[in-house]
Structure 1
Amino acid sequence: MSHTAHIPSHRKPRRSASKLAVRAGVAGGVLSTLAMAGTASASPAEPVAETTLEMPVLNLDLGAEVSSAVTQAAENTRLAAVEGELNAQEESARTGAAAEAKQAKEEAQKKADEEKKAKDEADRKAEAERATRSSERTKLQSASGSDSTAQGSGTVTAPATGSAAAIVNFARAQVGKAYVSGGTGPNSFDCSGLVQAAYRQAGISLPRMSQAQSSSGTAVSLSALQPGDILYWGSRGSAYHVAIYVGGGKFVGAQNSSTGIVERSLSYDKPTGAVRVL
């Protein structure tokens, strides 16, 4: 063993190359800085202009924008729903109006059909009653013998005078005009409307309906008729038809819509009874 082995070595440890490089770089930088400082101190000082760059400020409130977008979307949805509901209501209204119009048309047609049916039934009934009266007249004529001839021709042959003449002349002047239910002249009449208008020529006011007219004045026999007497068909007080006796075994009456106002013989449709108002 060496006699110096127990003495610690004073040799410095070897530095790594990387550390040496770092140290060299630091030293170089220091020296460069010092050199620049010396140069700066030797040169006259020049003012250095400072430039400040103003950056744009972005004011982005993303929360508010999102909220506004959500609100707008909700409003658009609500408006679309309202428009859809209005369209549905409009379509429903159109459908309802069409249904109501169809129903009204059907009801009007039904009413017209019912009125036509009622009119046809009334005409049929009148024809049946006339046929019945004709049959009854035939039986009465067979039973009464010669008296039926007097009833068929009437017992008055003298021309009408005074108020009776005014009534008869007016009634005959209306022959050929139309029969209209409810008609009171001057262009059309129903049976009681004609009798009422004829008596008005003599200054006499009669009730409007045939039932009341058949109850006016005094009842007279069909064998003792005089011009101007009111003939009626049916029961007195509930007659369904009236006419005016004009003499010579004839009467003038507004018969029906088919014949209009006509002058006929009593044998055409023998009345039930007669009343005298004059």
Structure 2
Amino acid sequence: MSHTAQITSHRKPRRSTPRVTLRAGVAGGVLSTIAVAGAAAPANAEPVTDTIEMPTLTAGLAGDFARSAEATQQVANTMDLQAQQDAAAAKAVKAAKTAKAEAERKAEAERKAEAKRKAEARAKAEAAERASRDAERTTLTGASNSNSGSSTGTSASTATSTAAKVSSQATGSAAAVVAFVQSHVGDAYIMGSTGPNAWDCSGLVQAAYSQIGVDLPRVSQDQSVAGTQVSLSNLQPGDILYWGGAGSAYHTAIYIGDGQFVGAQNPGKGVVQASLDYDPPSGAVRVL
């Protein structure tokens, strides 16, 4: 081969401009054809598209939301109703407690008032009975003095003689109780006094037992139940006599034997020794 021979090139030959232009023209023609076809299509023809049915999905969610809201409202209404019922129940309970407390207060007030009325009535009855007994004692004493024609000194002498005779029948602690009350015959009677030279009935009885080491209640009502109830036909020296009911007595004295007793009678007589027939007691209790 001649060194001047032309060597064929291995590079790809360049595409010519006319072929590129031709292809562009073909593409443009296709697009133009599509555009013309679209323009020529009927007006009422449905476009060929794929559509997601969103309205159906949206409507379902709206229904769910509506039902959820309605359920929430029902729960709220139920809770509100329950709260109202609870409040009404609490109010009713409070009103019931208040009414009960008021009823109990009124009942207690009525009970106290009734107890006070009974106590006052009993006190009046006892005072009336005591006054009646005092009047009877005065009458009997006056009649006895008038019939016997004896003086006060003679009566005192007789009482002392009787006391000496009676005291010999008592023994032990009973003898000490009898001796104590006999030693105060003639002392004054003063309501509320407990000695040493003036007494009321229960004060004298309490002191008589206190000096032998026995503690008795202060008032007649309690002294009348301070020991064992005994029959008036079975009395022993030292027994406590009482007038009135057991537990509601208004007067007490000491039985000294031989049908005699010593007691602080009243302001007009003071402490006396007298016969049971002179003022029969209602009952008796034995402490010793």
Give me the TM-score of the superposition, normalised by structure 2.
0.46
User: Which structure carries more helix by proportion?
Assistant: 2
Greater relative CO, 1 or 2 (CA 8 Å, sep 6+)? 1
